Structure 1
Amino acid sequence: MKYTEIKSCYIGPEISPEHFITEHFFLYLAKGTIEGYDGISKYSLKPGEYCIARKNHLARYHKQKQDNEFEKVVVIFDTLFLKAFAEKHKIKAQKSEAEAAFVQLKKTNLVPNFILSLMPYYNEGGEIDETFSSIKREELLLILLKENPELTNILFDFAPPEKIDLEAYMNRNYKFNISMERFAYLTGRSISAFKRDFAAIFSDTPSRWLIQRRLKEGYFLLEKKGRKPSDIYLDLGFEDLSHFSFAFKKKYGISPSDILKLNLNK
């Protein structure tokens, strides 16, 4: 089955592009590849594969074009939509024990056929007409739940994150560039409780600890792995290369690029 006519599109409300996933969404990849990371595991998505990205999780993903093209279909299952769906279909869920940010789904003919069924609903701007978006979202969700019943406890768990082990969580997720408020929420704390617990565990402020922890990892990647500064600063949680270089030199008294030069001269 060919997908040459599929255009990249989003169905549902806009979601934040940051590392924090604010709403569940379905991702179908038509062309290209996607590499994902959630602080625990790495994931790979190839053409014809699809997954659910879970809300209230941290994730980073890199895309790679195929023949200079990258095409995907993203369907957002926001909380408002899911609550209405649960009420309509009398769905009751239990607390989900799954931790992964990405849930790879069972492959069937139903999902690819659904993707192809979207074609008549594209408007002239290459988007799905809003008149049909809710209907198509409901149709997709019915398909996914039929083929993947375990999604019920994932998608319809509307409870906020519970209080968890702060030390383990931060040591696993320090590379994600999100606000302190996000970290507090994801660890089941108010911002004041988060800062208080953080100081008791790490004897430092969250912002200062994050910078130092990222720089330590950066030094390891440069000195031991021979990585280039331009290849690692984003994955370490820095917004730009100049910020990484400035903070690195301030801590170690040498620039990241000079670390590479020293390695080459050994």
Structure 2
Amino acid sequence: MKITEIKSCYIGPETSPEQFIAEHFFLYLAKGTVNGYDGNKNYTLKSGDYCIVRKNYLARYNKEKENEEFEKVVIILDEQFLKKIKDRHQIPISTSKPTEAFITLEKNDLIPNFIQSLSPYYNQTGAIDDTFSDIKREELVFILLKLKPELATIFFDFTIPEKINLEKFMLHNYKFNVSLERFAYLTGRSLSSFKRDFVKIFNTTPSHWLTQKRLEEAYFLIEKKDKKPSDIYLDLGFEDLSHFSFAFKKLFGFAPKKLMEQRQ
């Protein structure tokens, strides 16, 4: 079924722009490309693709326009909303549980038909009217459970992350620009316990280790992979290029631009 007049919109609570996924959300891509990364794997969504992005994961994604256009529908499936569904319905819970951050779904007419059904409910600001928001979100949940029943083990798991291997987690996720509090939470620790365990494992503080690890990776990418600082600083967890350049020079004694010149 051809989708027409799809407007970019968010349905559900606002989410943080940081790279920590605080709530599950459904992403439908109407026009464009989305490239995602969860610390272990790269994902690509094209026009007409859709997926679930899981809460309590670190992930980042960037968008590419298609013919100067980019349109998406994002529907937030927050914990409070999902708890209401679980309380109202008897939902079988599968023993199978996906492990990836981006859960892609096979193409099916149910999803495009659902996206098309949103059109009458857009208000004048291009958002879905609050009167119908939860109704349409609940409809989506049951469509998703029909297509992939094992999603129930994800949607209705309201436990906090368990204590995991800190060293392995940090080596996989050091590039993400999130707070120490987030790292602590995702490894199943309080902030004080996280800092204490971190020093035992890495023999330095988290902040110092993160900066050095990211800069060492930057050095490698510039020297060995011919990358430009402007192309890598965001992916390595730095918020701006000037801060990256300052930290790089402080650690190595010369600016990243100088390393580029030496390489040539």
TM-score, length of structure 1 as denominator length: 0.97
Does structure 1 retain, via aligned residues, the 8 Å contact 2:166–2:187?
Answer: yes
Shift of 1:92: 5.5
> Which runs of structure 1 show a deviation greater than 6 angstroms over 4 or more consecutive aligned residues?
none
Q: What SS class does the counterpart of residue 258 from structure 2 fall into?
A: helix
Calculate the aligned-residue CA RMSD, in Å: 1.2
Distance 1:164 1:96, change over 3 A: farther
- Counterpart residue number, 1:235: 235
Aligned residues: 264
Does structure 2 retain, via aligned residues, the 8 Å contact 1:21–1:58?
Answer: yes
- Counterpart residue number, 1:112: 112
Distance in 1 between residues matched to 2:113 and 2:98, nearest whole Å? 28
1:190 aligns to 2:190 (yes or no): yes
Shift of 1:182: 0.4
Q: Any unmatched runs of 5+ in structure 1?
A: none
Distance in 2 between residues matched to 1:211 and 1:252, nearest whole Å? 12
Distance 1:240 1:19, change over 3 A: same
1:11 aligns to 2:11 (yes or no): yes
Distance 1:143 1:3, change over 3 A: same
Shift of 1:75: 0.5
Q: What SS class does the counterpart of residue 44 from structure 2 fall into?
A: strand
- 1:158-207 per-position Cα deviation (integer Å, ceiling 9, x unaligned): 11000000000000000000000000000000111100100000000000
Distance in 1 between residues matched to 2:134 and 2:238, nearest whole Å? 37
Distance in 2 between residues matched to 1:92 and 1:186, nearest whole Å? 27
Q: What SS class does the counterpart of residue 76 from structure 2 fall into?
A: strand
Q: Any unmatched runs of 5+ in structure 2?
A: none
- Counterpart residue number, 1:140: 140
Q: What SS class does the counterpart of residue 224 from structure 1 fall into?
A: helix
- Counterpart residue number, 1:172: 172
1:82 aligns to 2:82 (yes or no): yes
Distance in 1 between residues matched to 2:247 and 2:96, nearest whole Å? 40
- 1:200-229 per-position Cα deviation (integer Å, ceiling 9, x unaligned): 000000000000000000000000001000
- 1:131-170 per-position Cα deviation (integer Å, ceiling 9, x unaligned): 0000000111111101110101011111100000000000
Percent of paired sites with the same residue: 65
Q: What SS class does the counterpart of residue 146 from structure 2 fall into?
A: helix
Does structure 2 retain, via aligned residues, the 8 Å contact 1:96–1:157?
Answer: no
Shift of 1:4: 3.7
Q: What SS class does the counterpart of residue 257 from structure 1 fall into?
A: helix
AA paired with 1:260?
M
TM-score, length of structure 2 as denominator length: 0.98
AA paired with 1:90?
Q
Distance in 1 between residues matched to 2:156 and 2:187, nearest whole Å? 20
